[in-house]
Structure 1
């Protein structure tokens, strides 16, 4: 019989039960086996090992010196196996560090408010959160999850949709009182249009005309910004026009702090928010738990 065909752990457990019970019958009852099966299994072990483990009498079993040594080793091995199983089972409970990289607006408005609830639900997860609107490499930044807006890039990455929202042009009532309300895309030539400074967002603002044709208006303004939250604050302060995802400025619009503009010329463009993470055969429970939580709790769009 090959070693692969021998259930060594099972044999050790049977032998240990026999020693604990002091007889085959007691071990058989504990293991739901017959005394004959237990006796034959111990005999096979002795034959394979080439050593007598037990001295048998009509009333009791006694360990031989070899059996005593083997029994001690069996106890250690079985204890180690039980401990290993407990550690692996405990590993299925979400615990450990989770590094999250989020854009500034999504982090400020949608991620950080959820942290207390997430921490209460998974107290053994340690969150490491970085907010930046720059596109990051998950491997280089050692991030487990990146929360990002826009098209996905990276064949080795997986993504979970968290929500979506259309894009709107907004300005504060104060700015509009001083500079007038743009009624058509052509009117933007007379307004301060704020732009983002990172490469992926540098470009004209698209609009759709009543006849269905599409036009693009170059961004003309005196400031470029590196994150959406800074642009939102300048828009609130009356510095100029901003173009945001609705999920970023919906509360400001509802409160009258910002006014949506040129809605009749909207292209209907939608920005999709994803939780992006690296693929692999097995995802650590801590990362899966956070992704599932974000997909369930984030209210975007």
Structure 2
């Protein structure tokens, strides 16, 4: 038996001034309410109500208990309301995302997300560097490539691909490559990734260009290249 048993019934009867009114307020039967209060009185070893055929009146002990119950029930309701509010996102959400992806895709999405959750503040750090999510206090990272940290949980949200391109003026003096191996005869420009990923006839092929030029663009990750 819980020490709370009978408290709600007692408070309802005391507030309504009758067992019938208290039972109606609780949506319970009068018999249930009466038994619950009798059980409470037995545990307290004190009479809480004077009962007659016409009236129900609190004893001195009942009046003292009522004041304590009023505070207890109010605290309980406030606690439950607070817990329910915590079901709604609130506080600060810290996100890190690569610069190009964040500007193009994340910003408009987060505007709509923040509008739906007014109690939530959102901090977005657009950077291409490798961050320590746990050490730097980020809640979410959006990156391309493989998940390097086994402590984290990753979810694939999409795919992108790079194309291997050349300027028309360059191809005027150098024949266009037909096969991946033909790139050995070309001046390639590499970025953050020194390995290019191709799909040739549906098969994955890796190529490491011998490049004299290196350019780091405002985007991160490694996407599959496709030979056109």
Task: Tell me the TM-score normalized by structure 2.
Answer: 0.82
Number of paired residues? 223
In 1: Cα distance, 2:9 partner to 2:88 partner:
31
Counting only pairs closer than 5 Å after superposition, residues 166-181 of structure 1 correspond to structure 2 as 166-171=161-166, 175-177=167-169, 180=172
Structure 1: runs of 5 or more not aligned: 232-242, 247-260, 265-301
SS of the counterpart of 2:189? coil
Q: 1:162 aligns to what?
A: 157
SS of the counterpart of 1:18? helix
- For the pair 1:13 / 2:5, whether they are aligned, the reply is no
The structure with the largest alpha-carbon Rg is 2
SS of the counterpart of 1:129? strand
Task: Tell me the TM-score normalized by structure 1.
Answer: 0.64
Q: Using the TM superposition, give the Cα deviation of residue 140 of structure 1 relative to its aligned residue in structure 2, in angstroms.
A: 0.8
Q: 2:114 aligns to what?
A: 119
In 2: Cα distance, 1:114 partner to 1:217 partner:
36
Q: 1:183 aligns to what?
A: 176
Aligned Cα root-mean-square deviation (Å): 3.0
* Cα distance change, pair 204–170 in 1 and its aligned pair in 2 (3 A): same
- Using CA pairs under 8 Å that are at least 6 residues apart, name the structure with larger relative contact order, 1 or 2: 1
Equivalent residue for 1:216, pick from 207, 214, 226 = 207
Q: Using the TM superposition, give the Cα deviation of residue 168 of structure 1 relative to its aligned residue in structure 2, in angstroms.
A: 2.1
Structure 2: runs of 5 or more not aligned: none
Q: 1:263 aligns to what?
A: 227
In 2: Cα distance, 1:6 partner to 1:262 partner:
69
Contact 2:195 2:206 in 1 (8 A): no
Give the strand-richer structure, 1 or 2.
1
* Cα distance change, pair 150–215 in 1 and its aligned pair in 2 (3 A): closer
For 1:191-210, what per-residue CA distance to the aligned partner results, in whole angstroms no more than 9, with x for missing partners?
251322xxxx3x24355778
In 2: Cα distance, 1:79 partner to 1:262 partner:
66
